Each structure stands twice: as structure tokens, then as C-alpha cells.
């Protein structure tokens, strides 16, 4: 049985009055259970040079219905001003500037695709992957 673990470390010597160091990891399980996530869309890349909104990860009823999917998205650009909006049902979850990434839970549902909308027509590349059931 596959075991998938996500980990994050946040450190700073000048964010607060004292240094901060936070590390956490978690085994990724299917929704409501103790069975590890065993499927993935695979790591992919999408290059866009348009400000139009497009689907990045489309809901797949057979794959993610009722599942506790996790989604990773990274803006591989080095631009500090160019960003990509990440949306579900046209509601903005956040903006990824060059080098930014996100890792979020996603249940999916009919019409709840993960969408992206770049801020400029300059080419930007996103890498992304969904992990699920």
C-alpha cells in the first residue's frame, strides 16, 4: 500500500521579535478514513500567455467524488509582479506570484473545477498535481 506524506517547514529570524521555526508533516488519507491516498494526476505543467480564465484541474466524478483530494500548484515564474489567480467557481482562492506555491484540500464537485487566470499576457508556467482516493 502506498503512503504519501506532505511536509512543510517555515522558518524566519526576523518575522517576529523572536525567531520562528515551524515544521509539520502529515500522511495523506482518503476522506474519513485511514487508507492512504493512492492515485495522482501526475505532475504536469501548463504554459499560458493569456489573461483569460481556463480550467487547470477539471472535476472527475470517478476520481474525486467524495474524496479528500489534495492539490499542489506552483507558479514557476521568477517575476515579483506577475501573478496567477487560482479560482473555484470564479471565486478567487488566492494569487500565486513568481515562485509561490499552494497545497490545498479539494473535494471537487460538478462545476467546481480549479481554474487559473494570469494577470498579464506574458507567458507563465504552472506546475500542478492532484492526489486523491
pLDDT > 70? residue 122 = yes
Mean pLDDT of 15-38: 85
Q: How confident is the model at residue 41 (pLDDT cuts 50, 70, 90)?
A: confident
Q: What is the Cα–Cα distance from 59 to 94, expressed in whole angstroms? A: 19
Per-residue DSSP letters for 61-76? Answer: HHHHTT--EEEEEEE-
Mean pLDDT of 53-60: 87
Mean pLDDT of 18-35: 86
Domains and CATH numbers, the chain: 39-132 (2.60.120.510)
Amino acid at each position: 500500500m502506498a503512503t504519501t506524506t506532505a511536509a512543510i517547514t517555515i522558518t524566519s529570524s526576523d518575522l517576529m521579535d523572536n525567531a520562528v521555526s515551524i515544521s509539520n508533516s502529515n500522511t495523506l488519507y482518503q476522506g474519513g478514513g485511514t487508507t492512504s491516498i493512492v492515485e495522482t494526476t501526475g505532475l504536469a505543467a501548463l504554459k499560458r500567455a493569456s489573461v483569460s480564465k481556463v480550467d487547470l484541474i477539471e472535476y472527475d466524478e470517478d476520481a474525486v467524488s467524495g474524496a479528500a483530494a489534495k492539490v499542489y500548484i506552483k507558479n514557476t515564474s521568477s517575476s515579483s509582479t506577475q501573478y496567477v489567480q487560482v479560482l473555484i467557481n470564479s471565486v478567487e482562492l488566492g494569487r500565486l506570484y513568481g515562485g509561490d506555491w499552494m497545497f490545498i484540500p479539494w473535494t471537487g464537485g460538478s462545476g467546481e473545477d480549479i481554474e487559473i487566470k494570469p494577470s498579464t499576457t506574458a507567458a507563465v508556467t504552472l506546475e500542478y498535481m492532484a492526489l486523491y482516493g
